[in-house]
Structures are given as structure tokens and as C-alpha cells.
Amino acid sequence: MPEFGYSLRGFDPTLQARASGREVNISPKAAREICGKIRGMKIPKAIELLEQVETKKTPIPFRRHKLKVGHRSELAGFPTGSYPVKAAKQILAVVRNLQSNCEFKGFDPERVQIIHAAAHRGRQIKDYVQRAYGRSSPNFHTLVHIELAGQEV
């Protein structure tokens, strides 16, 4: 079993709490954009946003890889966005884990702000789909590592 570290530097365990989801089977592109959106939010607001994304009420703006992503009229200031439901569900589980870790450490979860939210590419699952005439096509899946850290403000 590998031991995973955090990309957060200068972590103080007396002031901060952290949580992670390792090798989650979601889109790295969607995970990156969601982490960029929830960074700087307080935990209850981040949970509310992710629940709205799951029900397709609020889109997430896609800022980096946006050429084949549709526009959303609900977004103000940045037109390109999507509803990454599967990624939002997995990141919501990590945010709730961060909330539990904050409660365990004695922090008030209503006042905890997410200071670090990152999504990194993990290992790649290689799969092949059988085709006609003895051929095959690759069907690879990239797993994602999600890291969150919060600090009471």
C-alpha cells in the first residue's frame, strides 16, 4: 500500500485540518475546476455549492480546458461551464470528511475556510475494447487525488 503525502507546505496541525480522497475515478479536468471554485470558501457554502451542482442547478466555470465545453447563461463573467455531477459527488464526500476532521479537532465547522484545494492526476487504469478483425482500442482511465485543507478564521 503506498503512502500518500500532501502538496500543502507549512501545515500546522494545531490550527489546520486536512482531508484527502486518493485514486478516485473521476475526470481530472472537472476535479481541477471544482477545486478551483471551492478554494477560499467556508465549508457550509462549499457543501451547498456541490449539492447544487449535483442537482444541476449551478454550473462550474471551466477556465483552462474550455474549447469543447458548452456555454452556460447562468454563469456571470465567464461563459464556459458544465455540471460535473460525478466529480462533485466525490469531492463533496471529501469536504464532508474535512468537516468531520475539523469537528474532531475542536474547530467550529461553520467558521472553517478551505485554504487548500487541489486535484492531482493519479495512476492510469489501462483497458482495451475489442474491435472487429482482431483489433482493439485503448480505453484508459486516469484516477485523481483530491486534497483539501481548512483553517478556522
pLDDT tens-digit map of 95-131: 999 999 999 999 999 999 999 999 999 999 999 999 9
pTM reported for the whole predicted model: 0.92
- Domains in the chain (CATH in brackets) are 19-152 (3.90.470.10)
Chain centroid, CA 34 distance in Å: 5
Q: Give CA separation, 75 vs 55, 59, 63, 91, 96, in Å.
A: 16, 7, 12, 21, 26
Cβ atoms of 8 and 18 within 8 Å: the answer is yes
Position 78 confidence tier, pLDDT thresholds 50, 70, 90: confident
